[in-house]
Amino acid sequence: MNPRRRKLLLSVIFIVAGMGIATALALKAFQANLLYFYSPMQVAAGEAPTARPFRIGGLVVEGSVSRNPESLAVKFTLTDTLEEINVTYDGILPDLFREGQGIVANGQLLPDGTFDAFEVLAKHDENYMPPEVADALAKAGVKLPDSSHYTPP
């Protein structure tokens, strides 16, 4: 093999290897930033990860919200009508957050089974329910109101 061909071959090998490494790093970063959605039923069944953040959604149980008067800490229970998960959150809740309403929370499962949320998202109007929450409730057999903008598949 002449030197020119060898140089070309080495260049191609380095380019392919560099692209492979760049692709692997991009996929790893993408995977690390994914937030999968789980319903309270799936969390109770042990399907949710314990070592990484994920999303959980459902309805806030009536009478379950308790606020710490000395801080922004709040505790509440989330349900899909089959299972209930206790949630803790330290921060300002959205204005539309209330008992009996659908929410989605981002956070991590603690060893005691409590979900520690770092973000709470509430529905944006009277008729809307996040698609993940609507799917979880539909799988749990809950009849959704006809006024919902979302119909599960």
Residue with the bigger pLDDT between 45 and 125: it is 45
DSSP letter at 69 equals: T
- 115 belongs to a structural domain: yes
Within this chain, do residues 2 and 41 fall inside the same structural domain, yes or no? no
What is the distance of C-alpha 14 from the center of its chain? 39
Which pLDDT tens digit goes with each residue over 90-138?
A: 999 888 888 888 899 999 999 988 999 999 988 665 555 667 777 777 7
pLDDT on residue 150 = 43
- In the chain, what is the straight-line distance between the N-terminal and C-terminal CA atoms, in Å? 61
Total domain count for the chain?
2
CATH code where residue 43 lies: 2.40.50.140
Q: How far apart are CA 58 and CA 56, in angstroms?
A: 7
Considering the chain, what is the average pLDDT of its residues? Answer: 83
> In terms of domains, do 60 and 74 share one?
yes
Both 60 and 134 in one domain: the answer is yes
56 and 15 in a common domain: no
The stretches of the chain forming alpha helices (DSSP H) are 3-32, 40-44, 131-139
Q: Is residue 152 part of a domain?
A: no
Which residues span the domain enclosing 103? Answer: 37-139
For residues 75 and 20, membership in a common domain is answered with no
Q: Which residue has the higher pLDDT, 149 or 61?
A: 61
Report yes or no on 53 lying in a domain.
yes
82 and 95 belong to one structural domain: yes
Same domain? For 77 and 43 the reply is yes
The whole-number pLDDT of residue 125 equals: 54
Which helix H or strand E contains 107, and what residues bound it?
strand 102-109
pLDDT tens by residue, 8-29: 999 999 999 999 999 999 888 8
